[in-house]
Amino acid sequence: MAYSVLLAPPAERQLKALAEATQKRIITRLKALQYNPRPQGVKKLAGEGNLYRIREGNYRIIYTIQDKELIVLVVKIGDRKEVYR
């Protein structure tokens, strides 16, 4: 039972703006979300409805999980200093 990982347009732009090596690491993490949308180290963001975050080095991947439709929607990708703003 694999989830579909979708990127919102802003997240897609943010991913493309990163260095190629960083992109590859993040894409690997995104592919892993297909099989386990709540991996070890995931945190539910406080004060936000249904948002989760995972770490990849100094970068954070912010996403929401829609269990009924089996969809993981990535809403934001960015440096840890700026992603929560």
Domain borders along the chain are: 4-75
Q: Rounded to an integer, what distance in angstroms lies between the CA atom of residue 43 and that of residue 41?
A: 6
Give, rounded to a whole angstrom, the gap between the first and last alpha carbons of the chain: 34
pLDDT tens-digit map of 14-66:
999 999 999 999 999 999 999 999 999 999 998 878 899 999 999 999 999 99
C-beta of residue 34 within 8 angstroms of C-beta of residue 2 = yes
Between 72 and 48, the more confident residue is 72
CATH of domain 4-75: 3.30.2310.20
Q: Is the pLDDT reported for residue 85 higher than 90? A: no
Q: What is the pLDDT of residue 36?
A: 94
Q: What is the pLDDT of residue 11?
A: 97
Q: What is the pLDDT of residue 30?
A: 95
